[in-house]
Amino acid sequence: MDHEIRNRPSFANIKLNLSAGESIVAEADAMASMSGTVTMSTRWSGGVMKGIAKRLFGGESMFVNEFTTESEGELILTQPFPGDIECIELKGNTMFLQPGAFIACDPGITLGLGWAGFRMLIGGEGLFRLKVSGEGRVWFGAYGGIFQKEIEDEYVVDTGHLVAYEPSIGVKVGMAGGLFSSFFSGEGLVTRVSGPGRIYMQSRSFDGLAAWTNSHLW
Amino acid sequence: MHETYFTGGVFSSSIDGGRAGADIELAHDAIKASAKDGQLFTLRYSDCNVEMGGFNNKMVFCRNEDRSLTIFTEDKKFSAALAFAAGGLLDDQLQAGKNKVKSDKRSGRNFVLICMVCLVVGLTGLYYGIKIAGSAAVDALPVSVDKQIGRHTFTGMELGGEEIHDPVIVGAMETIVERLAPHAALAGLDYEVHVVRSEQVNAFALPGGIIVVYTGLIEHADQPEQVAGVLAHEISHATLRHGLERVGQSLGVAAAVNLLIGNVEGLVVLGAEVFKLATVNSYSRGQETEADSEGVRMLHAAKIDPLGLAQFFEILKEEGNGLPASLEWISTHPDHQARIINIRGLVAELGPQDYEPLDVDWDDVRRRVDDMN
């Protein structure tokens, strides 16, 4: 199955060409359009309890849709907010995704929910994160552009900009600088990541959008 | 016996994408990793640099000198197995890694703890800030708001008995209020006394100065000073604006918004609803203590013996064993023993005063109340 990420980076969407017998698993409501030859079946995301947990804590849907075709067909998947989409290929390795980032994956990928800890909650990244592992492709989205970085030593990411990271990445949440600069620089808390490993970041943050919108409401 | 095979991963530029899951073997003189794409990687123990960390602080990384190859696993048994397989060659590095992980965990825990403490302190500060701001806002409101809330509340109120207009009984209550009124802490209130025929031993004052006395309370009082004590306490709730404070606390943001936009009428309607929903006399413990102190001060200034209030509590305490439902006032004014002591203490602190008896024929008042039953 070949794929193309189109209209990057602002309004990215995934175009997949399914051949006979191929299938793809996607987040509920991710489908924008598809050929009449493609059929969709809905199932709990990893079972009833796991599905509910993903809805409550992982920012994902309780259900996932599996798209398949007996002949061939086209499928367009998208995300609810403007921004880029990235495709990564897992070869038996694991990746953590921030809540709401997951869009689709090959059927060989396992989706799980993991405890991220209070430090991530304080850092504004949520108590839980999605764990994707196995062999196959995973598509995830971000608000704004996506850029990746190989981390060796410590690297600082503002809270709300981390989208995906490998389990080998160490994460600490701390103040951006001293007490004064942390409060008045507008940076507040930041995430300090350390390698080895790869992280994916988004060029915009939802908190930034919310704060900007809020400032124009009064 | 230590395990030899583990599941983990490899970082290497020779893998497409730079990473892959791998099966790891601790061989005789090297770590061997078989990546999922079929490539085999070998790292001799003597060339191995060990690091620890990762998201869960449980990951062990074995890296070559230039860091172009990293073999890693999260298996908790790997560390001990690696130390054993390397024959002590990596013990120092493993120990240093463990120390670093411990230190990171400790600082992480401390950071979370500090954040939690800051959160609790912040929320507590916010709570008291709102309370102080609420009090300040109430102080700034004109007395006319108290009167309007009191009137709205009284109009829609079920008093639980028929209002009586006996000139002697009502007149006696008015005489008491007239003696107290000039010494009230808040000027501008219009006092208005209503007497209701009911067995309830109860009295209350609404914001603005509307006072309701039940005949049950008059029946239980041996002296007019005892009723004066109760009325001074209730009037204090009105003059200290406890009702408005309660409205502010109950309505919270709604009250603040109404105040901000100057919608006093809206506040009045909402405030009256709060009074209708709750028991009229349900004030906080702090407000009750304040009303006791203010009542005693008012009685003393009006030259009415303040011990009447303590005496009335004592009467109710004696009669109130088993607490019949009709003893409404005592049920909304708990801890009477502590309050008797407190009131006596307050009276003892006051300077000397020539108390003057109330110009009321109390026997006549009691007889007329008895005749009604």
The pLDDT score that the predictor gives to residue A52 is 73
Query: What count of other Cβ atoms lies within 10 Å of the Cβ of residue A76?
Result: 15
B123 falls within a domain: no
CA atoms of B196 and B272, how far apart (whole Å): 21
Report whether B45 contacts B88 (CB < 8 A): no
Residue with tokens 């031993």: B201
The pLDDT score that the predictor gives to residue A59 is 62
CA atoms of B194 and B184, how far apart (whole Å): 19
| Closest CA relative to residue A97, chosen from A67, A125, A75, A63 | A125
pLDDT in tens, A122-152: 777 777 888 899 999 999 999 999 999 999 9
Instruction: Judge if B285 and B363 occupy the same domain.
Output: yes
Report whether B175 contacts B359 (CB < 8 A): yes
CATH of the domain at B29: 2.30.29.30
Structure tokens at B36: 């999922």
Report whether B256 contacts B137 (CB < 8 A): yes
Instruction: Judge if B85 and B198 occupy the same domain.
Output: no
Q: Please, what is the average pLDDT of chain A? A: 87
Element (H, E) at A24: strand A23-27
Cα nearest neighbour of B57 on chain A: A170
Structure tokens at B166: 């006996």
B166 falls within a domain: yes
Confidence of residue A107 (pLDDT cuts 50, 70, 90): very high
The pLDDT score that the predictor gives to residue B325 is 46
Half-sphere exposure of A3 (CA within 13 A, CB side): 24
Q: Measure CB to CB from residue A92 to each of B20, B57, B72 and give the nearest one.
A: B20
Query: What count of other Cβ atoms lies within 10 Å of the Cβ of residue B338?
Result: 10
Look at residue B177 and tell me whether its pLDDT is greater than 50. Answer: yes
Instruction: Judge if B269 and B357 occupy the same domain.
Output: yes
| Strand B19-26 with A38-44, pairing | unpaired
Find chain B residues with C-beta within 8 A of A171's C-beta. 55
How many A/B residue pairs have CB atoms within 8 Å?
77
B122 falls within a domain: no
For B352, the domain range is 141-372
The segment with the largest mean pLDDT, out of A47-61, A101-115, B131-145, is A101-115
Q: Which residue has the higher pLDDT, B163 or A125?
A: B163
Instruction: Judge if B304 and B255 occupy the same domain.
Output: yes
Residue of A89, A91, A125 best to disrupt the B interface, most CBs of B under 10 A: A91
Provide the CA A82 distance to its chain's centre, in angstroms: 13
Q: Which amino acid is at B70?
A: T
Confidence of residue B143 (pLDDT cuts 50, 70, 90): confident
Instruction: Judge if B45 and B172 occupy the same domain.
Output: no
The pLDDT score that the predictor gives to residue B372 is 82
Mean pLDDT of A35-54: 79
Cα nearest neighbour of B115 on chain A: A122
The pLDDT score that the predictor gives to residue B57 is 87
pLDDT in tens, A165-216: 999 999 888 777 666 665 555 567 888 899 899 999 999 998 888 888 888 8
Instruction: Judge if B153 and B79 occupy the same domain.
Output: no
Q: How far is A104 from chain B (nearest CA, A)?
A: 19
| Closest CA relative to residue B133, chosen from B291, B252, B266, B273 | B252
Q: How far is B74 from chain A (nearest CA, A)?
A: 9
B113-B115-B120-B122 Cα dihedral, nearest 10 degrees: 160
Listed in sequence order, the residues at least 6 apart from B287 whose beta carbon sits closer than 8 Å to its beta carbon are B237, B240, B242, B245, B246
Instruction: Judge if B157 and B36 occupy the same domain.
Output: no
B111 falls within a domain: no
| Closest CA relative to residue B250, chosen from B157, B331, B138 | B138
β-sheet bridge partners, residue A174? A190
For A42, the domain range is 2-215
Q: How far is A152 from chain B (nearest CA, A)?
A: 9
Instruction: Judge if B176 and B91 occupy the same domain.
Output: no
B320 falls within a domain: yes
Listed in sequence order, the residues at least 6 apart from B250 whose beta carbon sits closer than 8 Å to its beta carbon are B274, B278
CA atoms of B208 and B143, how far apart (whole Å): 7
**How many structural domains comprise chain B?**
2
The pLDDT score that the predictor gives to residue A183 is 59
Cα nearest neighbour of A119 on chain B: B112
Q: Could B9 and A96 be called an inter-chain contact, meaning their C-beta atoms sit closer than 8 Å?
A: no
Element (H, E) at B6: strand B5-12
Residue with tokens 């987040």: A27
Chain B residues with CB under 8 Å of a chain A CB are: 9, 11, 15, 17-22, 35-37, 51, 53-57, 59, 61, 63, 67, 70, 72, 74, 104, 107-108, 111-112, 115
Q: Could B111 and A119 be called an inter-chain contact, meaning their C-beta atoms sit closer than 8 Å?
A: yes
> Could you tell me what percent of chain B has a pLDDT over 70?
87
Q: How far is A196 from chain B (nearest CA, A)?
A: 8
Q: Measure CB to CB from residue A91 to each of B37, B72, B104 and give the nearest one.
A: B37
Specify the DSSP class assigned to residue B239: H
Give one DSSP letter per residue of B55-86, joined into a string.
TTS-EEEEE-TTSSEEEEE--TTHHHHHHHHT
The pLDDT score that the predictor gives to residue B27 is 95
**How many structural domains comprise chain A?**
1
CA atoms of B246 and B250, how far apart (whole Å): 6
Q: Could A196 and B70 be called an inter-chain contact, meaning their C-beta atoms sit closer than 8 Å?
A: yes
CA atoms of A120 and A172, how far apart (whole Å): 8
Q: How far is A90 from chain B (nearest CA, A)?
A: 7
Residue with tokens 């007395």: B143
CA atoms of B202 and B280, how far apart (whole Å): 11
Q: Could A174 and B111 be called an inter-chain contact, meaning their C-beta atoms sit closer than 8 Å?
A: yes
The predicted complex's ipTM stands at 0.84
Instruction: Judge if B85 and B164 occupy the same domain.
Output: no
Q: Look at residues B103, B129, B150 and tell me which one is the last residue of a structural domain.
A: B103
Look at residue A114 and tell me whether its pLDDT is greater than 80. Answer: no
Q: How far is A102 from chain B (nearest CA, A)?
A: 20
Structure tokens at B15: 């893998």
Residue with tokens 């991710």: A30
Structure tokens at A117: 């800890």
Q: Measure CB to CB from residue A93 to each of B9, B57, B111 and give the nearest one.
A: B9
The pLDDT score that the predictor gives to residue B218 is 93
Q: Measure CB to CB from residue B36 to each of A135, A152, A198 and give the nearest one.
A: A135
Q: Which residue has the higher pLDDT, B199 or B8?
A: B8
Report whether A152 contacts A170 (CB < 8 A): no
Structure tokens at A200: 């994916």
Q: Which amino acid is at A66?
A: E
Q: Could B55 and A93 be called an inter-chain contact, meaning their C-beta atoms sit closer than 8 Å?
A: no
pLDDT in tens, B119-142: 999 999 988 877 677 667 767 778
Instruction: Judge if B245 and B173 occupy the same domain.
Output: yes
Least confident of A66-75, B32-41, B284-293: B284-293
Q: Measure CB to CB from residue B55 to each of A91, A169, A174 and give the nearest one.
A: A169
CATH of the domain at A140: 3.60.160.10
Residues A163, A165, A169: CA angle, nearest 5 degrees: 140
Instruction: Judge if B181 and B56 occupy the same domain.
Output: no
Query: What count of other Cβ atoms lies within 10 Å of the Cβ of residue B289?
Result: 15
Least confident of B54-68, B215-229, B337-351: B337-351
| Strand A128-141 with A85-97, pairing | antiparallel
The pLDDT score that the predictor gives to residue A57 is 66
Confidence of residue B43 (pLDDT cuts 50, 70, 90): very high
pLDDT in tens, B347-362: 888 888 889 999 999 9
Q: Please, what is the average pLDDT of chain B? A: 86
pLDDT in tens, B258-287: 665 556 677 677 777 766 655 556 677 788
